[in-house]
Structure 1
Amino acid sequence: MPPALNIIALATFSASLSARALDPVLPHVAEEFSVSIATAASFAAVFAFTFAIIQPVLGALADMFGKARLMIVCLVLLGFAHILGSLSTSFGMLFASRILAGIGAGGVFPVALSLTSDLVGPDKRQVAIGRTLAGAMAGNILGASAAGLIGDFLGWRGVLAVLGGLVVLSSVAVAAGFRGAALTRPPRTSLAQLRKGYRTIFSNPNARICYGAVFIEGCCVLGLFPFIAAFLFELGETSLSVAGIVIAGFAVGGLFYTMTVSRFLPRIGVNGMMIGGATLVGVQLIAVAMGPEWRLQTLSLIFMGWGFYMIHGSLQVFASELSAEARASALSLHAFFFFMGQTVGPIAYGFGIQHAGKVPTLLGAAAVMIALGLVCARLLRQTPPADAAAK
C-alpha cells in the first residue's frame, strides 16, 4: 500500500476526533441552555445536514483545485469552529458553530476516500479504504471517550476547546506530511468535465442504489447516537464518561472491520459482507431496544459498528467506481446522502420514540437494516465506470 495512505489516515483521524464529541455531553448542554434533549440533539442534525448539503460544492472544488489542499483548509476551519463553539454564550451561537464544523468536516473524509481511490486500484480498494477508515475509527473512539471524560472534569465547553485545539494542531501536521508525500496527481477537472462526470455518475444504475442505501444507513444507525446518553440516563447511569465509552464502542467495531476485511472479503465476497453486516446491525439494534446495562450496550455497539462498516465499506467501493474522472464528486454525493440520512435520523427517532416508544422504534429500524442488506446484495453489480478509459 502507498505510504501516502498513512497521511490520509491522519487527516481522517483529525476530523473524526470531534464527529461525536457532543453526544456524550448533550444532557449538560440541554441543562445549561434550558432546552430539551430532543432540541439539543438538533446539533447532531445540523452538523450532518451542513456536512451533507456542502458535499456537491466541495466535491467539485476538490476535483477542480486539488483534493489535498481543500482537505487541509477544511481541517483548519473545523478546529476553529469547535473553539468558537466553546465560547458560545447562547444556544444560537453554539448552533452556528456546529454549522461551521459541518462545513469543515465535509471537506475531509469524502476527499480522503477519493485520494485513496486515486492511489489504489479497484481490486485492492476496499482494503485500502479500510486503512483510511481505521484513522476515522481511532478518532471516533478517542473523540467520544475523551469527550465523556473531559466533560466530567471541564464540562462541554472544555470538550470543544480541547478537541478544537487538537484538530488545528493536526492540520499543521497533515499539511507538512502532504508537502513531502509523493502523491499521484491526476489532472484537475474543468467545469465541462464535471458536468460530464455527473452525467456518468447518474447514468450508472448503481448510483441510485448506493445513494439510497447510505441515506437509510445514516438514518437508522447514526441517527440513534444522540439518544444513547439519554437512554443511559433512564437506566440511572448519569456518568458522561460511561456514555462516551458506550458510543465509542461503535468505533471499536469499525476498527475490528478494518483488521478483518482482508480476511473476510475473499471468503464471503461483497454480497456476503453486505448481508452479514446489515443483519449484524439489525440484531444489535434489537439488543439496544431491550435496554441492557451499559457494559452490554457497549458490546452491542461494538458489534453494530463491525456490521455497519461491513456494508458501508462495500457501498463506498461501489460509489468510487461510479465515475473515474469525477471520483471526488461521486464520493462527495455518497457522503451527501449519508449525512442527509443522519440529519433525518435524529428527527425520525425522536418522533418515533415520542409517539410509538423506544422499543417499537428501534425494532422498526432493525427490520429496515436487515432488508437493506438483502436488497443491496441483490441489485448492486460491480462494473467499471463508463469514463474509466479516460482516466
Structure 2
Amino acid sequence: MAEAAQPRPAPGSLKALILVLGACGFASTFTMRVLDPLVPTLANEFTRSIPQVATIATTFSFAYAVGQPFLGPVADSFGKLRTISTCLLLLATLSAAAAFAWSFDALTIMRTAAGIVAGGVIPAAMAAIGDRAPMAERQVQLGRFLVLMIVGQMAGAACSGLIAAHIGWRGVFLVAGALAAIAGVLVMIVLKPRPDAQRPKLSFSGALARYATVFANPQTKVLYGLVIIEGALVFGMPPYVAAILHERAGVGPSQAGIVIAGTGLGGIVYGILTRVLVERLGPARMTTAGGALMALAYCLFALPMLPWWSAIAIFTLSGFGFFLMHGTFQALATELAPSARGSAVALFACALFCGHALGPLLMGTALHLFGTSGAILSFAVAVGLLGLLVPRALRLGGSRT
C-alpha cells in the first residue's frame, strides 16, 4: 500500500524525537527484562520451582500481546505521544507496587498488569517514528531508536542481578519504576504532537475499520505469522538462562544478567551498523544471515563444556542475528497500513509477544523432552530454517533498500 507523501522533518526535531522515544524504549525494555536474572532468587523467595517463576515472564508477555488490539486504536485516536506518556506513568506505578509484593500471586498480578501498559510504549513509539520519518530513512531511524531501547534491555538484565545482590530484588522494581516515570515526564516536556495529525474518533466500529485496512494488505498475515515464530524462538530461552548457567557452573544472578545482556549488545552493534547493513545486504540477505547467526549461537550455547563467560559472546552473536531479522520485520510493519499505522504496529507487537509468551512454554517442554543441550539445539534448527523461509514468504527477493 502506497504511503502518502511526507514532508521531510527538520534534522533537529527528528533527533530529539529519537532520543526521547529511545529513553521511553529504554525504560520499557528495562522493566521487561529485569525478571530473567531473578528467576532462581524468586524461586527461593516464594518457594516455587524454576518453571513456575519463569511463567511470570509468560504472563507479562501474554498481557503485553493481549493489550495491543486495544492500545493501537487508542494511539491512533488520542495521539501516540499521549499514549506513550500515560502508559509510562502507569508502568512506573505498577513497577513500584511490584516491589512491595507480599506473595508470588501478588507479584504475578503486578507483572501481568505491567505487561499491558508496557505494550503502549514501544509500538506507539515505532508508529510515531513511522509518521515522521520518510520510508527511505525509516529503517535507519528505527535502528537508532533500537540502540537506545536495547541499552535498556541490557541494563535491565545486567543491572537486575547486580541490584538484587546489593539491595535485594525489591529494589530492582523500584529502580524500574523510577526510570519509567522519568521517561514519561520527558515525553510531556520535550515532544509536541503533530498539529496536522488526523486522529479518528475512538469507537469500536472505527477500530474494526482500521484493522480491516491493515489486513487488506496481503503481506499482513504472513508477516505477523513469521513474527510469532520469531518471538517464540528468540524469547523462549532467556527465562531459563540463569538456571542453565547455575546448573552448569554455579553462577549467580549477576553473572546470568550479564550473559542475557549480551543480546542487547548485539542489538547495539546492529543499530550502529544499520545504514551499512541495509545498503550492502538488503532485507533478504539480512533475514537469512540473522537466522544463520542465531542458529550458530544456539549451537554453541548447547555445548556444556564451554566456560560460563563464553555465553556473553554467544548471546551477543545471537542478539545481532535477531536484530538483523527483526529490523526488517519492523520496517515492513510500519508500511502495512500507513493510514492506520498505530493499529498496524500494535498488532505487530501483539504477534511478537504472543510468540514471546509461547516461547518459555515451548522451551520448558523441550527441556523436559530432550534435556538442556537437546532443547537448545532444537531451537537452533528451527531459527535457522526460519531465516531461510522469510525471504521467500515475504517475497523480499535480493533487493537492497
Would the TM-score normalized by the shorter structure come out above 0.5? yes
For 1:183 and 1:140, how far apart are their aligned partners in 2? Answer: 29
Report the residue type matching 2:259 in the other structure.
V
The answer to whether 1:364 aligns with 2:378 is yes
Q: 1:74 aligns with which of 87, 93, 104?
A: 87
C-alpha displacement of 1:259: 0.5
Tell me what 1:120 maps to: 133
- Contact 2:65–2:352 (Cα < 8 Å) also in 1: yes
Per-residue deviation at 1:165?
2.0
- 1:7-66 CA deviation, whole Å, 9 max, x = no partner? 211211121221110111111101111100000001100000000000010001000111
Distance 1:269 1:210 in 2: 17
Instruction: Give 1:189's aligned amino acid.
Output: P
Q: Choose which of 233, 242, 263 in structure 2 pairs with 1:229.
A: 242
Q: Quote the sequence identity (%).
A: 35
Corresponding position of 1:342: 356
| Residues in 2 aligned to 1:81 and 1:186: alpha-carbon distance in whole angstroms | 31
In the alignment, the residues of structure 2 paired with residue 334 and residue 162 of structure 1 have an alpha-carbon distance, to the nearest angstrom, of 29
Other structure's SS at 1:234 match: helix
Structure 1 unpaired stretches of 5+: 384-391
Deviations 1:283-327 (A, max 9, x none): 111111113322210101001000100100101111111101111
1:126 to partner: Cα distance? 0.6
Task: Quote how far apart the aligned CAs of 1:174 are.
Answer: 2.6
Give yes or no for contact 2:24–2:180 (8 Å, CA) kept in 1: no
Letter in 1 for 2:197: P
1:380 alignment partner AA: L
2:3 maps to: none
Which digits, 9 at most, give the CA deviation of each residue in 1:87-124, with x for residues without a partner? 01111100010011101210000000000100111111
Q: For 1:235-254, what aligned pairs fall within 5 Å after superposition?
A: 235-254=248-267
Q: SS where residue 325 of structure 1 aligns?
A: helix
Q: Whole-Å Cα distance in 1 between the matches of residues 27 and 34 of structure 2?
A: 12
Secondary structure of the corresponding residue to residue 321 of structure 1: coil
Structure 1 equivalent of residue 6 of structure 2 = none
User: Who is 1:387 aligned against?
Assistant: none
Query: Structure 2 residue aligned with 1:220, among 233, 240, 265?
Result: 233
Q: Partners of 1:226 and 1:368 in 2: how far apart?
A: 19
Structure 2 residue aligned with 1:298 = 312
Say whether 1:11 aligns with 2:24. Answer: yes
Shift in CA distance, 323/114, structure 1 to aligned 2, threshold 3 Å:
same
1:128-165 Cα offsets, whole Å, 9 max, x none, are: 11111112101111111111100111121111122212
Alignment of 1:136-155 (within 5 A): 136-155=149-168
3-state DSSP of counterpart to 1:35: coil
Secondary structure of the corresponding residue to residue 339 of structure 2: coil
Letter matched to residue 243 of structure 2: A
What per-residue deviation string (whole Å, max 9, x for no partner) do you get for residues 221-280 of structure 1? 111100000011012333221111001000000000000110111111110111001111
Partner secondary structure for residue 199 of structure 2: coil
Structure-2 change in CA distance of 1:295 and 1:218 (3 Å): same
Gaps of 5+ in 2: 1-10
Aligned to 2:67: 54
User: Which shows bigger deviation, 344-353 or 187-196?
Assistant: 187-196
**1:175 CA displacement:** 1.9
Question: Shift of the alpha carbon at 1:182?
Answer: 6.8
Match of 1:187 in 2: 198
- 1:329 corresponding residue in structure 2: 343
Q: Does the CA contact (< 8 Å) of 1:219 and 1:343 recur in 2?
A: yes
Aligned positions of 1:26-175 closer than 5 A: 26-175=39-188
Tell me the matched-pair count. 381
**CA distance, structure 2, for counterparts of residue 185 and residue 159 of structure 1:** 41
Paired residues of 1:76 and 1:104 also in contact (CA < 8 A): no
Work out whether 1:196 is the aligned partner of 2:209: yes
Amino acid of the structure 2 residue aligned with 1:370: G
What TM-score do you get using the length of structure 1 for normalisation?
0.94
Normalised TM-score (structure 2) = 0.92
Deviation at 1:382, TM superposition (A): 6.5
CA drift of 1:368 comes to: 1.4
CA 235–39 in structure 1, closer or farther in 2 if over 3 Å, else same:
same
- How far did residue 341 of structure 1 move? 0.6
